[in-house]
Amino acid sequence: MKSLFTTNSIAACALFGLASGTFTSVFAVETVKATVNGMVCAFCAQGIEKTLLKMPETKAVFVDLKRKVVAVEAKDGQMLDGKKITAEIKDAGYDVVKLETVSLTVEDIKTQMKAKK
């Protein structure tokens, strides 16, 4: 098992993920929804998605270019750090104008956005 992981923290996260996967309903969904300025094309959206997916606590990312929305869903039982997410997005060259935590999954937000068309 040990040889599969490069660091202890990643191993701990992976193990926790496996363990919590069997009783997912125990934890409330935590998703950070950000309004981001500066995204102009699909590559911007893709870049932000990739950056945020690199965080060990990220389960899923959704980017809506037209509405300037970036949503990050935490893995079960894990916490998202709004400051860290803001820093990651800023480092990538974009501006976070609003940040809120919602009890929705990324899929829920996707559905909402589609419905609002």
Q: Which residues bind Cu ion (CB under 5 A)?
A: 40-41, 43-44
Phi, psi of 23 (to 5 degrees): -135, 65
> Taking the complex as a whole, how short is the minimal distance between the CB of residue 70 and Cu ion, in angstroms?
14
Q: Mapping DSSP to helix (H, G, I), strand (E, B) and coil, where does residue 34 land?
A: strand
Tell me the two tokens of residue 88: 């990651």
Please say which residue, 42 or 97, places its beta carbon nearer to Cu ion.
42
Q: Which is nearer to Cu ion, 26 or 41 (CB)?
A: 41
Minimum distance between the CB of residue 94 and Cu ion, rounded to whole angstroms?
Answer: 10
Q: Compute the distance between CA of residue 29 and CA of residue 25 in angstroms, rounded to an integer.
A: 9
